[in-house]
Structure 1
Amino acid sequence: MSSTVMSKVYIKFYGTRGSIPVCSRDVALFGGNTTCIAIYREKTKRLSILDAGTGIRNLGKDMKRFYGDQKDLSITFSHFHWDHIQGFPFFDPAYDPKMNINIQVFGKKMETGALRQIFAQQMREDYFPVSLDRMGATFHFESTADEIVSADGLKLTCIEQNHPGGSFGFRVDVDGVSFVICTDHEHGEEVEEKYVDFARGADLLIHDAQYTTGELATHKGWGHSSYDQCMELAERAGVKRLVFTHHDPDHNDEFLIKMEMKCQDRFKDSFMAREGMKISI
């Protein structure tokens, strides 16, 4: 390994829940907001976002407090099911006229107008009092099916996942580290080798684990994975750490604590994503 000092990448979970947000005392530890992940690269001092579930509301508050100087922001979407876009109308930076927000889809080529319409539609006056055009920020819509290699060395690769309506997983290789985020994916009867290859050797794998093996048997076709499938993927791919996310709305803190301990008996460096949790790679 090179002696070059690697800069860090930080990942923070603002939403860890799947399907629908939940609010009760027994989910306070792991959180009730739907999927939103912040990624901060130390080298460039820039924040980017994956998905805009209800967790993006709190991320917007933090941006004002900690990232106020950043006026160009990218939000990448794994797909457009409701629990991954429903927080967008409550994202404070979207109301800042000085803010440029890039709405990005990788792995799937879409017409710009069609991509824009997804966000404009949920903000029609039938559903929301402020339209997309009146939010204030300048929005740019980008869709590409190509692998991305940025000028400063960030490599982003996508993989198509098994989910109703489609979804994409992401692998980022940058600054000497790698991480994979695969949310909303159903492995089916077996974990295919192409997903193992995609995650091969990653420093961190963040994976949808909405169901137990028993629950998965009664939810075939819903587009989600089990804890056992995630661990099998992590083991075969040789990843260093595994984080389970997209928690089922019926899985409370007590359940997730017990399941975390059970999973750690098999895959030691694994844990459940907690809202507000920050990971350094």
Structure 2
Amino acid sequence: MKIKFFGTRGSIPVCEQGYQEFGGNTSCVAVFGESDSDVLVFDAGTGIRNLGKELMQQEFLPGRKIVIAFSHFHWDHIQGLPFFAPAYDPSKEIHVIALGNDLNIQDFKAIFAKQMESTYFPVALDNMGANFSFIPKKSNEQIFPDGIIKTHRHRHPGGAHSYRLEARGKVMVYCTDIEHGSNIEPSIVDFTKGADVLIHDAQYTPEELPNFRGWGHSSWEQAIEVAERAHVKTLFLTHHDPEHDDTFLHKVENECQKRFPNCYLAREGMEFSL
């Protein structure tokens, strides 16, 4: 499978000069299997717009689906869906899901329909055109070819879930918008154990983190500690703070690699194959 980053910025998109290398679009990561398999997407921040343009250039065989899984529903993780080109194509099948044994969602579809009401957007969700399904599911379900997805609820205002994809003998963990607190959450280490790839929130530096208690995010130092304790092979740090430009993030990456050499700050367009 191939992992590709389409949105790596946290909280709000940025487009100023000096933010282009690491990217200014909010969270979106895609996982591609074999050429004719479903496409699995984690979160629909503004980065999903470029993913949509890429998918519209591909041939979609009958039965092939786009599956969009959400860590949670804060604005920076859903705001790109109205600009996702396949959503306007009647030939496309899009499954919008949230996974977790502890989900308590009364009206899942309404979460996305609300931001597309006429007060906020000119096209209603029901008028987009694609064949949508909105289904909250339990954890440990097979929603990707030859793969099982497990979830774990972690600490974040309003709640959020990490995802663990196990497919063809490889393991990828997507863990963003997580606040560990003073100590690393042991259950996250267990959930991440042995992953080939860990994508982890690292919005703040260790020096910044105390100033943002309760905001729901991690430092790069905490992300590395999770990777070390879980014996992760490759670590990607994401959800970059909107105040951190390319020069700043290069310095952070250099510091991170001194401690964990196989660690990279995620960049828009970056691909990694398993």
Same fold (TM > 0.5):
yes
Q: In structure 1, how many angstroms separate the alpha carbons of the residues matched to 2:8 and 2:167? A: 24
Structure 1 position 90 matched with structure 2 position 83: yes
Q: In structure 2, how many angstroms separate the alpha carbons of the residues matched to 1:255 and 1:151? A: 37
Report deviation, 1:219. Answer: 0.1
Structure 1 position 109 matched with structure 2 position 140: no
Structure 1 position 241 matched with structure 2 position 234: yes
Change (3 A) 1:237 1:139: same
* 1:208 aligned residue (194, 197, 201): 201
Q: In structure 2, how many angstroms separate the alpha carbons of the residues matched to 1:88 and 1:189? A: 35
User: Identity percentage over the alignment?
Assistant: 50
Structure 1 position 52 matched with structure 2 position 50: no
Structure 1, unpaired ranges of 5+: 1-8
Tell me the equivalent position of 1:250: 243
* 1:32 aligned residue (24, 44, 54): 24
Report deviation, 1:145. Answer: 3.0
Letter in 2 for 1:88: L
Structure 1 position 183 matched with structure 2 position 176: yes
**Range with greater deviation from structure 2 (34-43 or 21-30):** 34-43
Q: In structure 1, how many angstroms separate the alpha carbons of the residues matched to 2:144 and 2:171? A: 17
Query: Which whole-Å deviations, capped at 9, do the CAs of 1:216-274 have from their partners, x for residues lacking one?
Result: 10000000000110011100100001000000000000000111011000000001000
Report deviation, 1:25. Answer: 1.5
The 3-state SS of whatever aligns with 1:127 is coil
Q: In structure 2, how many angstroms separate the alpha carbons of the residues matched to 1:68 and 1:157? A: 27
**Range with greater deviation from structure 2 (71-80 or 23-32):** 71-80
**Range with greater deviation from structure 2 (113-122 or 234-243):** 113-122
Structure 2, unpaired ranges of 5+: none
Q: In structure 1, how many angstroms separate the alpha carbons of the residues matched to 2:77 and 2:104? A: 18
CA RMSD of aligned residues (A): 1.5
Whether the 8 Å contact between 2:38 and 2:144 is mirrored in structure 1 is: no
Report deviation, 1:138. Answer: 1.7
Letter in 1 for 2:210: A
Structure 1 position 155 matched with structure 2 position 171: no
The 3-state SS of whatever aligns with 2:208 is helix
* 1:195 aligned residue (176, 185, 188): 188
Letter in 2 for 1:194: S
* 2:121 aligned residue (115, 125, 128): 128
**Range with greater deviation from structure 2 (183-192 or 146-155):** 146-155
Q: In structure 2, how many angstroms separate the alpha carbons of the residues matched to 1:84 and 1:266? A: 30
**Range with greater deviation from structure 2 (246-255 or 143-152):** 143-152
Whether the 8 Å contact between 2:38 and 2:65 is mirrored in structure 1 is: no
Query: Which whole-Å deviations, capped at 9, do the CAs of 1:132-189 have from their partners, x for residues lacking one?
Result: 1111112111112332146953111100011001100011111011011101000101
Q: In structure 2, how many angstroms separate the alpha carbons of the residues matched to 1:160 and 1:183? A: 11
The 3-state SS of whatever aligns with 1:214 is coil
> TM-score w.r.t. structure 1 length?
0.93
Q: In structure 1, how many angstroms separate the alpha carbons of the residues matched to 2:144 and 2:204? A: 39
Change (3 A) 1:255 1:12: same
Tell me the equivalent position of 2:15: 23
> TM-score w.r.t. structure 2 length?
0.95
Q: In structure 2, how many angstroms separate the alpha carbons of the residues matched to 1:194 and 1:184? A: 16
Change (3 A) 1:208 1:67: farther
The 3-state SS of whatever aligns with 2:50 is helix
Change (3 A) 1:221 1:114: same
Whether the 8 Å contact between 2:28 and 2:41 is mirrored in structure 1 is: yes
Report deviation, 1:47. Answer: 1.5
Q: In structure 2, how many angstroms separate the alpha carbons of the residues matched to 1:142 and 1:183? A: 21
Whether the 8 Å contact between 1:22 and 1:33 is mirrored in structure 2 is: yes
